[in-house]
Amino acid sequence: MKNILLAILLLTSITASADKYFTKTGQISFYSYALLEDIEATNNKVGILLDTKKGQLNFSLLIKNYVFSNSLMQQHFNEKYLESDKYPKSILAGKIKDLDKIDFTKNGTHKVTVTGFLKIHGVTQNISETGTITIKNDQVNMKADFKLKIKDYKIKIPSLVGQKIAEVITIKIDADLKKI
């Protein structure tokens, strides 16, 4: 009886995870265009979990994993603006709208809208953003481009460098998830 119960639990956990996709190497980059200086950074260590049965989408990343071409920019980003020692993570928890229109067993590309919340710099904001999900051979690629106002997340920019940092930054997501 004990072995049968163990087999049922094991089978249930395998079946439950058949609807989930995961990566710990998702990529999120941002771009800030300003009159005096453009700023770009990329984080290639983004954890993403997609539950295709419930439509839940979760992102988690460490702020310190953003890499800049200029080490001084990276230092200022972490110490002065995002305060990554105080607010080490950014989290997105969302849900895919109209999930029933996507068949994750068939190859194809689908436009999606994700609603939920995004937490940056200790501030949580409701979001609704669009992107694409491409399904190919049991893998899911997710892409999205959207804009964020830094003031919405209480990121303070000193007036001395105000012309170097845009008030609105562009966020790009590109991630390949594998079935778990």
Q: Give me the residue label for tokens 């669009």.
A: 130
- What pLDDT score does 2 carry? 47
Average of per-residue pLDDT across 153-176? 83
Quick check: 124 and 93 in contact, CB under 8 A?
Answer: no
What is the β-pairing status of strands 67-68 and 89-96? Answer: unpaired
Per-residue confidence at 11, pLDDT binned at 50, 70, 90? very low
Per-residue confidence at 96, pLDDT binned at 50, 70, 90? very high
Average of per-residue pLDDT across 86-100? 97
- What pLDDT score does 5 carry? 40
pLDDT tens sequence across 39-53: 899 999 999 999 999
Read off the tokens for 26: 């998702």
Report which DSSP code applies to 15: H
pTM: 0.86
Cα(158)–Cα(167) distance, rounded to whole angstroms?
A: 12
Quick check: 87 and 110 in contact, CB under 8 A?
Answer: no
Map out the domains of the chain with their CATH numbers: 19-179 (2.40.128.110)
Best CA proximity match to 118, nearest among 54, 45, 57, 39: 57
pLDDT tens sequence across 99-139: 999 999 999 999 999 999 999 999 999 999 999 999 999 89
Read off the tokens for 169: 């930054």
Best CA proximity match to 78, nearest among 121, 30, 122: 121
Quick check: 91 and 118 in contact, CB under 8 A?
Answer: yes
- Other CB atoms within a 10 A radius of the CB of residue 70 amount to 13
Best CA proximity match to 129, nearest among 169, 97, 161: 97
